Amino acid sequence: MTRVMQFNSPFLLGFDGLERLLDRVAKASDGYPPYNVEQLTSEKGEALRITLAVAGFSRDELSVTVEDNQLVVRGRQLEDEDRTYLHRGIAARQFQRSFVLADGIEVKAARLEKGLLMIDLEKPEAVRTVRKIDITGENKDEESAPSPQARVARGAV
């Protein structure tokens, strides 16, 4: 099967990593453990909560890490060798669930309550910046000489 490039437009520059992220997310399609993503209100900006159903896991058997721009939740239950099961319907299962985080999103807290692991995220409001780029002239003398606006800004006029 041939894969179609999603970001091959000449107007989308520097998005190569985003396509790799989408590939990685598409491969992680296991449905365990089930989870919810909620949008919450926050005075600092956008807030999110990811809730994973991790019944049977203790705090020591779970880990929450941020690796680059990816939130990774891992669970690993250890086998209890002292027990003899007549029927085993609840398996000691390990998992890894990953979420790709946008730039600026911070993981604020994680807590385990009644078999639910809740991870709170926050994205502060973005500060919009506008930056003017000076255009230099065609002559070599003009390229090295500061523009009139730059001279005014430095107080050289």
**pLDDT per residue as tens digits for the range 77-109:** 887 788 888 998 877 789 999 998 988 899 999
Scored b (16 or more CB within 10 A) or e, 61-72 reads bbeeeeeeeebe
CB-based contacts of 125, cutoff 8 Å, min separation 6: 44, 45, 46
H helix runs in 11-138, sequence order: 16-27
137 lies in some domain: no
In the block, tokens 């730059």 appear at 150
**Which residue segment(s) compose the domain that 57 sits in?**
31-126
**Higher-pLDDT residue of 41, 18:** 41
pLDDT digits (tens, 9 = 90+) for 102-144: 888 999 999 999 999 999 999 877 788 899 999 998 876 555 5
72 lies in some domain: yes
Average pLDDT, the chain: 81
60 lies in some domain: yes
CATH code, domain carrying 44: 2.60.40.790
- For residue 96, the one-letter residue type is Q
Confidence of residue 19 (pLDDT cuts 50, 70, 90): confident
Q: What percent of the chain has pLDDT over 70?
A: 76
